[in-house]
Amino acid sequence: MKRILIFLFTAVMINKAYALKIITPEDKSFITSPYLYVIAKIEQEDATHVMVTVNDIKSPLIYIASNEYKVQFKDYLILDIELDNGENFLGISLYKDGKLLEEKKAIINLVRPPRSLPNSAKKYYFHKEEKEKECLNCHASIKNCAECHKRIISKKYVHGPAGSGDCNVCHLEENKNGVKYTVQENIVDICINCHDNMKMENYRYAHGPFAAGSCEVCHDLHSSDYPHQLKMETNDLCISCHQEFKKPGVTHVVTKHPLGGKKDPSRPGKMLQCSSCHNPHGENTQVFFVRGVKNRMELCAVCHKK
């Protein structure tokens, strides 16, 4: 867990059947972006403190009974957190002068790149009607998505539509089954509207995620610190699925050929990496040799011209 970035919370309390309610995220949900708003409602008039746990990080006891918090934030606790790959634990504990009153927990799975999920996992959606009703108590006038979603476009390489605020290029504005701003299931159909050189018919053989229409397995759809909005360095991304190359004693089929750390003769200014030889989308050979070459010797000749 990298960090808990923001704590905004309040303490206007009203007697109700529950004292602490996690509005979002839902327990056992999964998400494909590491950035997540956690919103809880606190309705316990004699509560004085909150403690938040994200994985192995615990916040100090946070005083929530001051007039300043009551006036500014009403009865909500709002967290902006960054998740780790895989399963993440969220705990919110409510206290009165050091005595535990109530605790709520949730499990959230970050799926990047693909991982197996429990059968009970359900996709995370923020913009559900019942959740937006809670937000509209304070945020009735927000018109720009970036007012809330600054972090997803804060990295070095920003996807064009996200950077220009044209979110509806990918997100549907209409309500779909009680959820707003969804994207269609087969993301590749959206992507090729702009990236028309990536059409499936261009390749005899297609790489698994691309063939499955899951561009988001490798690319962050909003922004990234890596070129082409990759989710991590190219080689790290490749071996996150092709984990056989992590095992002791296992080497590439061309055993003495460097996989990194050397300049790429075929691509001036770049270093050798998996994509020096393999097209990550697809190609005309089953192992996706770049530049349309048909066999290994022809591939070697791209750099070794003598």
Q: Which residue has the tokens 């009865």?
A: 75
Q: What is the CATH number of the domain that holds 63?
A: 2.60.40.10
pLDDT (tens place) for every residue of the chain, 306 residues total: 555 544 444 333 334 444 899 999 999 999 888 889 999 998 877 889 999 999 989 999 988 888 888 887 788 888 889 999 889 999 999 999 889 999 999 999 988 655 566 677 788 888 988 888 888 877 877 778 888 898 999 999 999 999 999 998 999 888 888 898 988 777 788 898 899 888 888 889 999 888 888 888 899 999 999 999 999 999 999 988 888 877 776 677 777 788 888 999 999 999 999 999 999 999 999 999 999 899 989 999 999 876
Q: How many domains does the chain have?
A: 3
Domain membership flag for residue 243: no
DSSP structural state of residue 26: P
In three-state secondary structure terms, 105 is strand
Q: Which of 253, 261, 268 is nearest to 300 (CA)?
A: 253
Residues 128 and 155 in one domain: no
pTM of the predicted structure, to 2 decimals: 0.77
pLDDT of 11: 38
- Specify if 245 maps to a domain: no
| pLDDT computed for residue 188 by the predictor | 80
Query: Which of 141, 165, 193 marks a domain boundary?
Result: 141
67 shares a domain with 132: yes
Q: What local confidence, expressed as pLDDT, does residue 113 receive?
A: 55
Looking at 122, 141, 160, which one is the last position of a domain?
A: 141
> Do 43 and 122 have their domain in common?
yes
Q: Are residues 76 and 87 in the same domain?
A: yes
Phi then psi for residue 78, to 5 deg, are -125, 125
122 inside domain: yes
* Closest by Cα among 17, 137, 165, 32 to 78: 137
Per-residue tokens: 120: 């009970």
Which residues span the domain enclosing 167?
Answer: 142-231
